[in-house]
Amino acid sequence: MTSSSPTTSASSSSQSDICLSLENVGISYGTNEAVRNVFMDIPKGQVTAFIGPSGCGKSTVLRALNRMNDLIEGCTLKGRVLFHGQDLYARDVDAVEVRRRIGMVFQKPNPFPKSIYENIAFGARINGYKGDMDELVERSLRKAAIWDETKDKLKQSGCALSGGQQQRLCIARTVAIEPEVILMDEPCSALDPISTLKIEEMIHELKKSYTIVIVTHNMQQAVRVSDMTGFFNVQAKADIDGKVGCLEEFAPTEQIFNAPSQQATQDYVSGRFG
């Protein structure tokens, strides 16, 4: 908690309400710049959605929030990502500990090839959970709205569930380690509308106790679940050929979809893009 910057107006004025703060973040894959100049204050206890066309860097920025990009060869980050005022990319920060505080749900459901019970218990166990494991498994599955479907087959493989159930199992797995933030990278893109609806209802429940950041291609979904929306766009680079992503507008969801301040946002949310 030593590296908080007193010069940043946002972090000094409402430190307690800001969960994650991005200060002039730019991310490159090798020499290829993916996204630049991102300034954003993600509020605590709310749902923040990232929308925008493909290749605009939404997922890249999301993965930067819990240092998932560390696993990608040649990925570098400029600027600062502050979590409650602490720079996540400071030299003495342990990425494993970051991911325990900021959990992630991926685009493709990826349950471990273990039993449903073990899928939940694995994360808790490696995080040093000492309490009643059965109770934790039930609580997590209930929070992810999948308890009723799985309570009779906890010993079965998680891979035997349907796609929507697998994704909710993955969310339950993330909830089980009690993170402060849950990042979701297009969690419904591989799911049917009914499973999507279940997950959205769950997000409404989860935001009571967690900060949620969700990337979505579905604008209606952003309207339905989020409080804040960030619209990412691609810009042609001024200096050399190529495109780079940037944060076009970041505002309350209502404002983004009803009265955006940028023309590009207006075009995108009204389907007049391109």
Partner 1 sequence: MHTSLSPQAPGSRIPAASAGGFQRGSLTFRPQLSRNRWNAVLTGLAGLATTIAVLPLVLVLAYVLIKGGSLISFSLLTQLPPAPGLEGGGIGNAIVGTLLVTAIAALIAIPVGVGGGIYLAEYSSGGSFASFVRFGTNVLAGVPSIICGVFVYGLIVSTRIFFGQSYSAMAGGIALAVLMIPTVIKTTDEGLKLVPQELRLGALGVGASKMVTITHITLPAAFSPIATGIVLGIARAAGETAPLIFTALFSPFWPEGVFNPIATMSVLIYNFAIMPYQAQISLAWAASFVLVLMILAANLLARWLSQLARA
- Tell me which residues touch partner 1 (CB under 8 A): 66, 68, 71, 73, 96-97, 99-100, 103-106, 108, 110-114, 122-123, 126-127, 170, 173-174, 176-177
Contact 248, 62 (CB under 8 A): no
CB-nearer residue toward partner 1: 48 or 66: 66
We find the least distance from the C-beta atom of residue 42 to partner 1, in angstroms, to be: 18
CB-nearer residue toward partner 1: 114 or 243: 114
Give the whole-angstrom CA distance, residue 58 versus residue 119: 28
We find the least distance from the C-beta atom of residue 28 to partner 1, in angstroms, to be: 17
We find the least distance from the C-beta atom of residue 251 to partner 1, in angstroms, to be: 29
Give the whole-angstrom CA distance, residue 241 versus residue 264: 21
We find the least distance from the C-beta atom of residue 248 to partner 1, in angstroms, to be: 28
Q: Which residues contact 42 (CB under 8 A, 6 or more apart)?
A: 18, 19, 20, 21, 22, 48, 211, 213, 228
CB-nearer residue toward partner 1: 58 or 100: 100
CA 41 to chain CA centroid, nearest Å: 14
CB-nearer residue toward partner 1: 133 or 264: 133
We find the least distance from the C-beta atom of residue 242 to partner 1, in angstroms, to be: 25
Give the whole-angstrom CA distance, residue 229 versus residue 188: 17
CB-nearer residue toward partner 1: 90 or 126: 126
> 199, 181, 179: which is closest to 189 by C-alpha?
199
Q: Tokens representing 55?
A: 């290749």
CB-nearer residue toward partner 1: 157 or 262: 157
Report the DSSP beta bridge partners of residue 212: 47, 182
Contact 38, 24 (CB under 8 A): yes
Q: Which residues contact 193 (CB under 8 A, 6 or more apart)?
A: none
We find the least distance from the C-beta atom of residue 104 to partner 1, in angstroms, to be: 4
